[in-house]
Amino acid sequence: MLLLAAALAFPDEGNAGIEVPCEFSAGLIWVHVPAKGASEPLQFLLDSGASQSVIDTACARRMRLTVGTGRPVVGVNWQSIASEVSDFEGDLAGIPLPRSILAIDLKRVVVSTDRRVDGIIGPDFFRPHIVQINYVQQSVRFFRRGEVNAVGNRFSLVPRNGALCVRAMVNSTPRLLRLDTGCNSAIECVELNSKRQERAAPSVAVQAGSRSQVTRAQLALESLELTGVESGWHGKRFFPGEDGLLGNGVLSRFTVTVDAAGSRLYLAKH
């Protein structure tokens, strides 16, 4: 196995960003979110694969949030109706989360864990910050631009369908994979002969599901090469113009730094 030989130059103590503890459990990243109207901190997933932040419908009702007009939302092999919520007030270590989010029944969406999921933090929270995830230390750091000087190998992020994607080679075939910290597997790929699924609705990618087969694949992200990566293969695309998901089964091998506004991704070996 060839791993990326890269290192991140972390800022000095005066520019250490804001650190938030997280829990890497069941292949997912959990954070506690204090919120107005909630009697205790909410359990949210940190999900770069969702196009918008989400709160569970039952949780929104308990908090007496204003639930508005319904709209279609799609995920990996599912689709549903979500409602607009514009008065959510929650934060991570004092960093406000988006007030405008979607309310959806997350019990139908997150099937990989028996744990209650109150919400999902998506890229609409990532974009104003540089987000660094350390799976080993189980922490997330948020930096303002200029606070962190990441050096070494870097990878370009491609915006698509409101999410962030990376260009990869899977078994020597070019693929556009969604960077998905809400996916608990390594790679989920569409078969080459699959038809495009043109769905322009907001998306929440938090489960694999409906695999036709599972194999071991070779993954290349520019200078990074991994062999024997577990890959699930699917009969149709999850989202238009995308070829699959790059999940925590790969990402958890590294400290991951996401600079969404700068369209850059950094992976540093633990």
pLDDT tens digit string along 30-46? 999 999 999 999 999 99
Domain edges within the chain: 17-143, 155-269
Say if residue 207's pLDDT is above 80: no
Q: What local confidence, expressed as pLDDT, does residue 235 receive?
A: 86
The pLDDT tens digits of the residues spanning 216-227 come to: 999 999 888 999
Question: Taking residues 154-174, what's their average pLDDT?
Answer: 94
pTM of the model: 0.85
pLDDT-derived band at 237 (thresholds 50, 70, 90) equals confident
Q: Domain 17-143, what architecture?
A: Beta Barrel (2.40)
Q: Do domains 17-143 and 155-269 have the same CATH topology?
A: yes
CATH superfamily name and code, 155-269 = Acid Proteases (2.40.70.10)
Dig out the tokens for 121 from the structure. Answer: 């933090």
Arithmetic mean of pLDDT over the chain: 84
